[in-house]
Amino acid sequence: MNRIGRQTMTTRRAMLIAGCLLLGLAGCSGIGGSAGQDAAASDAGKEGPPVELNLMTVSFAGGGWPDDHIMVKELNRRLNINLSIDWTPIEIYGEKLNVLAASNELPDIFLIEEAEFNKWKNQGVFLDMKPELGNNPHFAKHLSSENLALMNPKGHIYGLPFYITETRDSLIIRKDWLDKLGLEAPSTTDEFLQVAKAFAAQDPDRNGEADTSGFSFSIVDDKFTHLDAIVGAFGLGNEWTKRDGQLLPQQVQTEELKALLAFLREAYASGALDRDFATNKFKDPLAKLEQGKTGIATVVPNEFYTLTLPALKKRDPEAELIQLLPPKGPGGLQATHTMASTSKIVVNAGISPIKQQKALELLDYLLSDEGYDLIKNGIEGEHYRKTAGGKYEKLEAFDRDRPQLLSIWFFRRSDPNVQIRKWDDPMYKENVMSFYETNARYRWKNPAAGLFSETQDLKGRTLQAEWMRTIMKVVTGQLPLSAVDDAAAAWRLGGGDRIIQEINEEYRNASQ
């Protein structure tokens, strides 16, 4: 996940809502029909008939809950609402949201990605929740002030942050392979390369076949994925970097790129890098480690103990994995995969005051002790039970009902323990938190996170695809390292200079 926040609006979808933007999306959202209602309506909905609310968020494998799900019924009962949830697959989420905007049918409450939020936040689409903070105390209590401020104009809160564990993912390495080859865990990029070469050439699985490599990575949305520790070690920014007071994108950091690509070229030529990396899908690098094909990968700590290690041990009972610290680059830099909470939870400004208050009540409740317990662990007696010894036991219905979906696909506290359950072994929690605490020391922040560029929105994906095609040819030896300069120049000429200008203007405005 966190794949949330990776979608960008395409030109086609931008054209689809252009009419609404020209009118001002406040009108498209139907604000005029409800704004004049009696102010006392804000007290309505506490008693009487349930308030109808519809909510839209993303879904991944397995889809969301059916309309009559036990968790929906429980939320309805506790909050006097009649809640309907539109669980939309992540692949079509942004497009569907834009279609709804163009037809004046935006949901009451919804998750929105970075690009759309930035385009609409000053158009009257979203309810300003800042005046309601006093009535909804859990917003400020359980959401970080940094994430609350991110992307919201000063003095306003149009969107609440979808929390992402900032430095979640971690490198892991086959310790049993290190031991068999008499090697130590690498601490620098040079050592990393030498260990990866050994994993490829010295038959660490002792099966007599040349069928292993050191590491792999993916290209997703034409960006390096599962390679953050190596990219950052060579001095490159996490998409952007700050230099002499100006933000610069990765595409024009040519000297650092050449150093990185020289490393990857050598790894590819020697077999240390998986030869099939270019065709990898998002999860393939980790899958290859689980299959015993590679010795180093990036893992989500929660899944390390529940999925990755069990899968590997099923194939090889003697396998052993340990966390690998980010290797130091030539200049001593270390970095870990670092994400920003740029997706937002918003309330439609065009719905009635009664609905607005109920929407805020629902969101505040999901962050409260009672509500957060519900959406993390489910209903006591249905999804878990308390044992005679005072501990908790998961019931079969938890896996069937998946009561945690709202907390993982929609809204949750700023809480790295979001996927730790009441019944989990305390040692499991301690081990997961140890990963997070270690990773936090190597935070690799993107200084441009949440900033918007219209040119990036219109041309960025095409420019990035063209740039990455050149970079991939350099990695695989089809082009010389000097092609990096040509790729940077083409990116700049095609609109990149304008992107740099617009991002820096946004950065200066946000800093004022």
Of residues 5 and 434, more confidence is placed in 434
What is the mean pLDDT of the segment spanning 404-428? 95
How much is the average pLDDT of 92-121? 94
At residue 484, does pLDDT exceed 80?
Answer: yes
Q: What is the model's pLDDT at position 91?
A: 87
Q: Residue ranges per domain, the chain?
A: 11-165+341-419, 170-338+450-511
pLDDT exceeds 50 at position 25:
no
What is the per-residue DSSP string for 382-413? TTEEE-TTS-EEE-HHHHHH-TTHHHHHT---
Q: Provide the pLDDT for residue 511.
A: 76
Residue 137 is given by DSSP the state T
| Cα–Cα distance for residue pair 2/4, rounded to 1 Å | 5
Q: How would residue 509 be classed by pLDDT, with cut points 50, 70 and 90?
A: confident
Question: Residue 218: CA atoms inside 13 Å, Cβ hemisphere, count?
Answer: 15
d(CA 246, CA 242): 6
- Topology of the domain comprising 11-165+341-419: D-Maltodextrin-Binding Protein; domain 2 (3.40.190)
Please give the Cα distance from 122 to 109 (Å, whole number): 18
pLDDT band at residue 46, thresholds of 50, 70 and 90? low
- Tell me which CATH code domain 170-338+450-511 carries: 3.40.190.10
Q: Are 420 and 372 in contact (CB under 8 A)?
A: no
Section 436-448 average pLDDT = 95
pLDDT at 23 over 70: no
Segment 356-384, tens digit of pLDDT = 999 999 999 999 999 999 999 999 999 99
Tokens 């990857």 found at:
264
% of the chain at pLDDT higher than 70: 91
Check if the beta carbon of residue 442 is closer than 8 Å to that of residue 326.
Answer: yes
Is 238 a residue whose pLDDT tops 50?
A: yes
Residue 180, C-beta contacts closer than 8 angstroms, at least 6 positions apart: 204, 206
What residue has token string 């030539």? 330
What's the confidence (pLDDT) of residue 18? Answer: 38
Q: Give the model's confidence band at 195: pLDDT under 50 very low, under 70 low, under 90 confident, else very high.
A: very high
Residue 192 pLDDT exceeds 70: yes
Percent of the chain, pLDDT > 90?
87
Mean pLDDT along residues 444-465: 95
